[in-house]
A and B are shown apart, each in its own frame.
Chain A
Amino acid sequence: EPEVTQTPSHQVTQMGQEVILRCVPISNHLYFYWYRQILGQKVEFLVSFYNNEISEKSEIFDDQFSVERPDGSNFTLKIRSTKLEDSAMYFCASPRGLNTEAFFGQGTRLTVV
Chain B
Amino acid sequence: AQTVTQSQPEMSVQEAETVTLSCTYDTSESDYYLFWYKQPPSRQMILVIRQEAYKQQNATENRFSVNFQKAAKSFSLKISDSQLGDAAMYFCAYRSARNTNAGKSTFGDGTTLTVKP
Contact = CB atoms under 8 A, between A and B. Distances in A.
Interface of A: 31, 33, 35, 37, 41-45, 48, 50, 56, 89, 91, 93, 95, 98-99, 101-104, 106-107, 109
17 contacts: A31-B102, A37-B43, A42-B91, A42-B107, A42-B110, A43-B93, A48-B104, A50-B102, A93-B103, A95-B103, A101-B33, A103-B47, A104-B47, A106-B42, A107-B43, A107-B44, A109-B43
A104 B45 contact: yes
Contacts of B47: 101, 103-104
B102 A104 contact: no
B102 A98 contact: yes
Nearest to B109: A42
Contacts of B42: 106
A101 B50 contact: yes
A56 B102 CA distance: 10
Contact of B108 (A42, A101, A107): A42
Given A31-B103, A93-B103, A98-B99, A106 B91 contact: no
A43 B47 CA distance: 14
Contacts of B45: 43, 91, 93, 104, 107
Nearest to A97: B102
B115 interface: no
Contact of A102 (B46, B105, B109, B110): B105
A43 B44 CA distance: 12
B101 interface: yes
Contacts of A104: 37, 44-47
A44 B110 CA distance: 12
A34 B95 CA distance: 15
A44 B102 CA distance: 16
